[in-house]
A and B are shown apart, each in its own frame.
Chain A
């Protein structure tokens, strides 16, 4: 199946610093990528939809100035958590939509564990 790579797998940062997470579709072009956050024992929560070449669409309650999303190419989207705080510690997962030839199936990256200390 299609492969979506996410990097880094885990990161520890100091409170107040910024962290960038990359999401790449390795064998298909993804015009749309999605960013999720998942707290322990909870379901996936969609944060934003990232469209190549345009601004991301954020879900209600998600601060666009804190979670910066850049979808610079058809295979790369990045999420930057700015001025991170301990409450931002979570499992961040990206996904990418394959084309109509694949039924618009959405594939997930491996996820990134963020710990803010």
Chain B
């Protein structure tokens, strides 16, 4: 089992719709959770961080964390073509020496 798992996609979403991305992790001791967006050929860009159970909203993005079920999700509302990218889920675990472990990423395509 991979430490952080994501569906590779592509997730095809019509413009204006909601994109829903999921991520599961194996280390119950994980403390911090992040979503990064990576455009092709570019470095990852931090979108959201979440540390406690529940929802966290920032603009069109909402991160949801459920530690009991060991999953974290990202919702993108009113999806725009510029949101087309690969979204990386990352988990920071003390047990892993505070290293950031990445999922394989979910490729999102927003179609006009």
Residues of A within 8 A of B (CB): 1, 6, 32, 34, 43-44, 46, 49, 57, 91, 93, 95, 97, 103-111
For the residues of B in contact with A, the DSSP-based class is: strand
Residues of B within 8 A of A (CB): 32, 34, 36, 41-46, 49, 51, 88, 90, 92, 97-105
How many Å lie between the Cα of A44 and that of B36 in the bound state? 12
Contact of A103 among B43, B45, B51, B103 (CB under 8 A): B51
How many Å lie between the Cα of A49 and that of B92 in the bound state? 14
* Nearest-Cβ distance from residue B87 to partner chain A, whole angstroms: 12
Contacting residues, chain A, for B43 (C-beta < 8 A): 6, 93, 108-111
Q: Contacts A103-B32, A111-B42 hold; do A43 and B100 have CB atoms under 8 A apart?
A: no
For the residues of A in contact with B, the DSSP-based class is: strand
12 interchain pairs, CB-CB under 8 A? A1-B46, A6-B43, A44-B44, A46-B101, A57-B97, A95-B100, A103-B51, A105-B34, A107-B46, A108-B44, A110-B42, A111-B43
Most chain A CB neighbours (cut-off 10 Å) among B34, B97, B100: B100
Contacting residues, chain A, for B51 (C-beta < 8 A): 103
How many Å lie between the Cα of A93 and that of B42 in the bound state? 9
Q: Could you tell me if B97 and A49 are in contact, using CB atoms closer than 8 angstroms? A: yes
Contacting residues, chain A, for B97 (C-beta < 8 A): 49, 57
Shortest 3 CB-CB distances between A and B: which pairs? A111-B43, A43-B104, A108-B43
* Nearest-Cβ distance from residue A28 to partner chain B, whole angstroms: 14
Q: Could you tell me if B98 and A104 are in contact, using CB atoms closer than 8 angstroms? A: yes
* Nearest-Cβ distance from residue A107 to partner chain B, whole angstroms: 6
Contacting residues, chain B, for A109 (C-beta < 8 A): 43
Contacting residues, chain A, for B45 (C-beta < 8 A): 108
Contacting residues, chain B, for A46 (C-beta < 8 A): 99-101
Q: Contacts A34-B100, A104-B98 hold; do A44 and B46 have CB atoms under 8 A apart?
A: no
Q: Contacts A1-B46, A44-B44, A44-B88 hold; do A106 and B34 have CB atoms under 8 A apart?
A: yes
Contacting residues, chain A, for B105 (C-beta < 8 A): 43
How many Å lie between the Cα of A84 and that of B61 in the bound state? 41
